[in-house]
């Protein structure tokens, strides 16, 4: 069982169709799983039909998922974008800045980093270095 993290704290999973992988893309039902090494340009003809893209983070020290999220948003993807796996509360603001809408973490991580730690970083738009430079 996973925990979904949003700007308001922990939430439960909405019912969604089953996820497919990139090689099963023509058979999708609106949701796809991407690994951190997948090429997002393969999704181009399907972007308007996808409701949820979930990007895997196999390790908290692997930032390729952040790049994937940014590329997907720059390609015009408007649906839900979810980071899944080893994302820490300290990385939540970065995840939101690059385009993720939510993060999916394990129950174990949720127990070690409770909702309050994630909500503390939910004001992700106000605390970036560019805002401080403009002030």
**Which pLDDT value is given to residue 123?**
78
- Residue that is written with structure tokens 């939540």 in the block: 92
Domain membership of residue 13 as a residue range: 2-134
Mean pLDDT by 10 residues, the chain (135 residues): 92 81 92 95 95 95 95 96 96 94 95 94 68 65
**Which pLDDT value is given to residue 114?**
95
**Which pLDDT value is given to residue 45?**
95
**Which pLDDT value is given to residue 119?**
92
**Which pLDDT value is given to residue 122?**
82
- Calculate the dihedral angle through the C-alpha atoms of 89, 94, 95, 96, rounding to the nearest 10 degrees: 110
- Specify the pTM: 0.89
For the stretch 44-58, pLDDT in tens is 999 999 999 999 999
**Which pLDDT value is given to residue 98?**
93
CATH code: domain of residue 111: 3.40.50
* Domain total of the chain: 1
Asked if 31 and 17 count as a contact pair (C-beta separation under 8 A), the reply is yes
């Amino acid at each position: 069982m996973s925990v979904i993290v949003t700007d308001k704290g922990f939430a439960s999973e909405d019912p969604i169709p089953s996820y497919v992988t990139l090689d099963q893309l023509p058979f999708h039902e609106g949701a796809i799983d991407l690994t951190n090494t997948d090429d997002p340009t393969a999704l181009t003809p399907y972007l308007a039909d996808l409701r949820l893209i979930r990007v895997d983070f196999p390790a908290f020290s692997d930032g390729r998922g952040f790049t994937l999220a940014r590329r997907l948003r720059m390609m015009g993807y408007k649906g839900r974008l979810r980071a899944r796996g080893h994302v820490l509360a300290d990385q939540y603001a970065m995840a939101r800045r690059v385009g993720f809408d939510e993060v999916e973490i394990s129950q174990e991580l949720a127990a070690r980093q409770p909702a309050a730690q994630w909500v503390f970083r939910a004001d992700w738009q106000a605390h970036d270095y560019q805002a401080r430079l403009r002030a």
